[in-house]
Amino acid sequence: MNSWLLAAGVTASGVAAVHIIAGRRDVVRPLLSCGLADEPKRVLHAVWHMVTVDLVLSASALVYLALANGTSGTDLVAWFVAAHFLAYATAFLVITLSVGWSKPLLRLPQWMLLLPVALLTVAGAA
């Protein structure tokens, strides 16, 4: 068993749970009740659900990879998941730093949840 990948999978599961619970309250509900036109509103709603599926599948893949340590292709999939979480964290950092907010790193803190998954996964894949 690869304990780094297991830690990444458990952490990613927590990220998915935070996304589902807090995201529904802080993002989806306000989005659905705002005055935005219906079509872009529904596209953004669908994108939120796509991210939910992505986070849950990634967490599941990491747990599977942890338990299937040494199986052919494990490293490639782990590197892909690490890159994907790093890309998500980078997107949040770039967006939040480009807005000009005071204390920007705390305004959109999602990167703080995503980056540890990437780092734990890299440790498990290396």
Give the pLDDT band (50/70/90) at residue 71: confident
**pLDDT tens digits, residue range 95-126?**
999 998 888 899 999 999 999 999 999 999 98
Instruction: Give me the mean pLDDT over the 4-27 stretch.
Output: 96
State the pLDDT at residue 22.
Answer: 94
For position 74, what pLDDT does the model report? Answer: 87
In the predicted structure, residue 70 carries a pLDDT above the cut 80: no
% residues pLDDT > 70 (the chain): 100
How far is residue 42's CA from residue 6's CA, in Å, rounded to a whole number?
35
Residue 72: band (very low, low, confident or very high) from pLDDT cuts 50, 70, 90: confident
Name the phi and psi angles at 105, rounded to 5: -65, -20
